[in-house]
Structure 1
Amino acid sequence: MTSTLPAVTGAKVPAQRRPAPTARSTGRTQPPVRLRSSRSDLLLCGVLLVAILVVQGWNITAYPTLSDDEGTYLAQAWAVQEGRGLAHYTYWYDHPPLGWIQIALLTWIPSVLSPDSMTVGAMRVTMLVISGTSAVLVYVLGRRLSLPRWAAGLGMALFGLSPLAVVLSREIFLDNIAVMWLLLAFCLAASPSRHLWHHFGAGLAAAAGVLTKETMLVVLPALFLTMWRHSHRDTRKFALTGAVTACALIGFSYPLFALLKGELLPGGGHVSLLDGIKYQMSRPGSGFILDPDSGSYGVLHSWLYYDRVLPIGGLAGALLLILTWRWSVTARALAGPALAVAILAAVAMRPDGYLPAMYVIGALPFLALVLAGGAASVAHAVLRRWRADGENRAVTAGRYALAAVLALAAGAYVVPHWYDGTRTALTADANKPYRQASDWLGTKVADPEDTRVLVDDALWLDLVHAGYRPGPGAIWFYKADLDPAVTKTMPRGWRDLDYVVASPTVRRDAKDLPNVRAAIEHSTPVATFGTGDDRIEIRQIQAATAGGVR
């Protein structure tokens, strides 16, 4: 984009006057563009948004495999909608409840129109609202950080079309919603208007992101760096003070909520926020990410299985921007996203840290921006050097041809890899065993209302809609051992149950849950769906006296 000068009226410009310096001649970044006032930006962003929504929405209910986390958040959202409190069981302070309250708002309309459709697979469609909004915010942020139009579009495409992003953005994860709020905060922090209320709003949006998923807290230094760079010198202190105050006041509402409920500190007969924090801090680590025998190493390779370009290229782009910060305009403009990537990478590299598979979601938009920014920085440096050389047209044309060849070579490497990863997401049906198990439990069990089934949360709402009692009938398997409100309804332990649905999640975690392990050991499979480690077994408990099969 080139700078424009205001019209001059009432005076003639002297012929000898030199033209006003442009962003290119002074080395400064180009002024940010307002998306709504640029037809070219709106067109490019709109085309990319349609492509992203089509790719992410196609086959969304069938791939990837339903996860217990998705089922938990959706079941908690269902509890909010039904007025049953903040969770479908006793709420304890594992995550702030704002995340699934938002999911409840997103799923409210489809659940009213079709209550039986409030299951994990069907409700994944609502995540397209989140991923589409986040993709647009990535483009807006790129333009506000002075990226050229093509680079902002590249960042948006990397964020929305990477096979890794396609798979993870489909899932009902709190991280996806939290990232949307963080991106909004960055866009407000980089607002070209520099209004104080924009920075105050950035603090509010950041607080919403942290209260959606508390791990977003580590990204706040990068947000405040962005705000520092883009705020007006005269009002910088007020802007930062207002943003930090707004973020802190909203953030402290969570411990205040616990305090008012008498659940801030540990005590007899109730859960507590302090216990929740203690649990999160004491979770067994998954090992060093570069140790081949660690769980973190397996998580890393699960990310790289889908896409190596965005994680590795994004880290390389962040390193390039950090190393060239002193003399690169683009590096200084993208200091915030580069710092976010560095912080998130450092946290992931902790030797004894816990690294969940969805952790990378928080890094995806910043990886995309710094990779696009690194490409823009290299392109700008090369073109500036070529212009400075002042060589003849033939040499210049040859260099442009070389650049085009390099760009095509990069595309030839990326496109096939992305095609393979995305093709799986668009065609595979990983959730057929879950649908078959849901159908069997809904049609083959004689009296669902009086039958007690241990099940993971991916199927919990399916059973509720099939007539099982939510809580004592359809039982989220963790609660059979960990929730006193449930265990007191099982005086004989596993003998008071009728079935256990042994999904991969249930089999994996049963070793730490005595009632669940005993239920599996004292049961026989009556139906099996799928094969291998991904199979789902419906097992009838031998000591059961209630329920039955038609």
Structure 2
Amino acid sequence: MTSTLPAATGVKVPAQRTAAPKTGSIPRTTPPRRLRGSRSDLVLCVVLLAVILVVQGWNIADYPTLSDDEGTYLAQAWAVQEGRGLAHYTYWYDHPPLGWIQLAALTWIPAQLAPESMTVGSMRAAMLVISAISAVLVYVLARRLSLPRWAAGLGMLLFGLSPLSVVLQREIFLDNLAVMWTLLAFCLAASPSRHLWHHFGAGVAAAMAVLTKETMLIVLPAVLVTMWRHSHRDTRKFAVTGAVTACVLIGISYPLLALLKGELFPGAGHVSLWDGIEYQMTRPGSGFILEAGTGSYGVLQSWLYYDRVLPIGGLAGALLLLVTWRWSVTARALAGPALAVAILAAMALRPGYLPAMYVIQALPFLALVLAGGTASVAHAVLRRWRRTDEKRALTWTRYAVAVALVGASAAYVVPRWYDGNRTAVTADANAPYRAAADWLGTEVENPGKTRVLVDDALWLDLVHEGYRPGLGVIWFYKADLDPAVTKTMPRGWRDLDYVVASPTVRRDAVDLPNVRAAMENSTPVATFGTGEDRIEIRRIQAAGGDR
């Protein structure tokens, strides 16, 4: 309590506690307390965001190629909107349902205004909202971690304009939503106000991230490191305890859901959370990521095909920050993001299953540490120049060298990013899917009584064309793996009329007896596209019988 007694009274006034630095041991110089409190930050962020959204949004429905995972998540969101449960088929705890529940909320208005628009291509536009929020959070986090304005802008551009980001952030993946919540958790953990409710909010956001995509659990130690460094020493224990408690209490809602449904443990006649976890933990690995010929190596090459700057430069930036942690202010400030990169890289190196979208979780942290590493190097060079150039005799040389370094970096990065992003904004990779959906909607006489196997990228298209959800248009995996579907097929593949042989169906049919038999006993009646990317509509020869 502040004393107002004058010194002449002779009453001893308690010494006032000196205010602690806003971020613990990290000196803060330029970051504003709030983004909206700095016009320069606000203008820069808005301009960069506009550029990012134009690049990511242009041609979003046509590139990249529609994926089965996108169709699955959107179909599950459609099922939530329609009140059909947590999924368009039996929900078997493959992922927590919060991710597609958010998608359902995000796409609800356009789905109500134009139900036929609830397809993968058109609903990709909803991901621009997620990309926008995440890009702004990257900028805010960079400023809260004491990066200068130009470095925060660089991090935002690296995150939003890398061809790897442009391709993957367009797609309807749960990872993109989970990254948004994780970035929010980091921003709240690094809040300059250091209110306890900010740290509790960080725990809530972290729980939302995990319930959106469970693999974000491995990044939570980095959130705690950030919170520990940015919390006040007097309230640090309360802050961390509150954040962990909030995260755990919200996180246990997932197993509680399974318990209330009687599906926590395996049993006769129902799915279970335990079976879902066991499947995720025991699924076949894709090999060591650095061993040529393995599936993981192929995934790595697909990432590097789009962009080498962000993955390799980000890893180098993380290594630089971790090595210089003891004596670098920037390294200490970015300890959380650098740790996140290290954890994600270590998990990628294990010889387990590595999905193509895994790198999405690392993109913001790769961008932050690359921007931070650049800022750290620039600061060290400028400081050395100031010490050796007291009379400013080398001023023009210094600027010339700086311009040369920036120019050399731009000469390397810009052409590669330009080529990658030009493909993203001009190529039409989904014409075969659109043509196949049109054919099945116009050439099949009675869609309501026709049964067709498709991958989920086409599932909602055919629902809008009049095929019966679940039983008329069948996600091809379910023809072999879902008892609720197989019991409607007493004659197996003979109870089907068509199979749409997309690349995904052809790849996975070898492990699905009904799908494989349908492929073997069918003839193509229409083909769209060429080569490995072609889509064949195949009429099953032995189709028929009462349905």
Pairwise TM-score range, normalised by the shorter structure: over 0.9
8 A Cα contact 1:49 1:135, kept in partner: yes
Question: What's the CA shift string for 1:28-51, capped at 9, x where partnerless?
Answer: 342631211000000000000000
1:392 and 1:521 map into 2 onto residues whose CA distance is 82
Q: Which residue of 1 aligns with 2:312?
A: 312
Q: Which residue of 2 aligns with 1:292?
A: 292
2:123 and 2:521 map into 1 onto residues whose CA distance is 35
1:480 and 1:503 map into 2 onto residues whose CA distance is 16
**Equivalent position SS for 2:234:** helix
1:27 and 1:166 map into 2 onto residues whose CA distance is 33
Task: Determine if the alignment matches structure 1 residue 495 to structure 2 residue 531.
Answer: no
**Equivalent position SS for 1:524:** strand
1:194 and 1:183 map into 2 onto residues whose CA distance is 17
8 A Cα contact 1:32 1:192, kept in partner: no
Q: What code does the residue aligned with 2:58 have?
A: W
2:289 and 2:313 map into 1 onto residues whose CA distance is 18
2:158 and 2:114 map into 1 onto residues whose CA distance is 35
Structure 1 residue 125: Cα displacement: 0.2
When normalised by structure 2's length, the TM-score is 0.94
**Equivalent position SS for 2:271:** coil
1:39 and 1:171 map into 2 onto residues whose CA distance is 33
8 A Cα contact 1:493 1:515, kept in partner: yes
**Equivalent position SS for 1:325:** coil
Identity of aligned residues (%): 81
8 A Cα contact 1:127 1:171, kept in partner: yes
Task: Map 1:315-464; keep pairs closer than 5 Å.
Answer: 315-350=315-350, 352-464=351-463
8 A Cα contact 2:453 2:473, kept in partner: yes
Q: What code does the residue aligned with 1:293 have?
A: G
Task: Map 1:108-187; keep pairs closer than 5 Å.
Answer: 108-187=108-187
Structure 1 residue 401: Cα displacement: 1.2
Q: What code does the residue aligned with 2:501 have?
A: A
Q: What code does the residue aligned with 1:494 have?
A: W
Q: Which residue of 2 aligns with 1:13?
A: none
**Equivalent position SS for 1:95:** coil
Structure 1 residue 546: Cα displacement: 6.4
Q: What code does the residue aligned with 2:310 have?
A: L
Question: What's the CA shift string for 1:305-324, capped at 9, x where partnerless?
Answer: 00000000000000000000
8 A Cα contact 1:311 1:367, kept in partner: yes
Question: What's the CA shift string for 1:498-537, capped at 9, x where partnerless?
Answer: 0000000000000000000000000000000000000000
8 A Cα contact 1:29 1:329, kept in partner: no
1:169 and 1:46 map into 2 onto residues whose CA distance is 19
8 A Cα contact 2:452 2:496, kept in partner: yes
Task: Determine if the alignment matches structure 1 residue 208 to structure 2 residue 211.
Answer: no
8 A Cα contact 1:498 1:541, kept in partner: yes
Structure 1 residue 395: Cα displacement: 1.2
Q: What code does the residue aligned with 2:378 have?
A: A
Question: What's the CA shift string for 1:379-416, capped at 9, x where partnerless?
Answer: 11111111122433231321221111111110011000
Question: What's the CA shift string for 1:120-177, capped at 9, x where partnerless?
Answer: 0000000000000000000000000000000000000000000000000000000000
8 A Cα contact 1:29 1:330, kept in partner: no
Structure 1 residue 437: Cα displacement: 0.1
2:545 and 2:206 map into 1 onto residues whose CA distance is 51
Task: Determine if the alignment matches structure 1 residue 45 to structure 2 residue 52.
Answer: no
Number of residue equivalences: 523
Q: Give runs of ≥4 in structure 1 deviating > 3 Å.
A: 26-29
8 A Cα contact 2:31 2:148, kept in partner: no
**Equivalent position SS for 1:539:** strand
1:534 and 1:395 map into 2 onto residues whose CA distance is 58
Structure 1 residue 284: Cα displacement: 0.3
1:124 and 1:479 map into 2 onto residues whose CA distance is 25
Q: Which residue of 1 aligns with 2:521?
A: 522
Task: Map 1:223-242; keep pairs closer than 5 Å.
Answer: 223-242=223-242
**Equivalent position SS for 1:454:** strand
2:26 and 2:194 map into 1 onto residues whose CA distance is 22
8 A Cα contact 2:68 2:456, kept in partner: yes
Task: Determine if the alignment matches structure 1 residue 36 to structure 2 residue 67.
Answer: no
8 A Cα contact 2:99 2:177, kept in partner: yes
Task: Map 1:247-286; keep pairs closer than 5 Å.
Answer: 247-286=247-286
Unaligned runs of 5+ in 1: 1-21
1:30 and 1:144 map into 2 onto residues whose CA distance is 10
8 A Cα contact 2:447 2:466, kept in partner: yes
8 A Cα contact 1:481 1:487, kept in partner: yes
Q: What code does the residue aligned with 1:455 have?
A: V
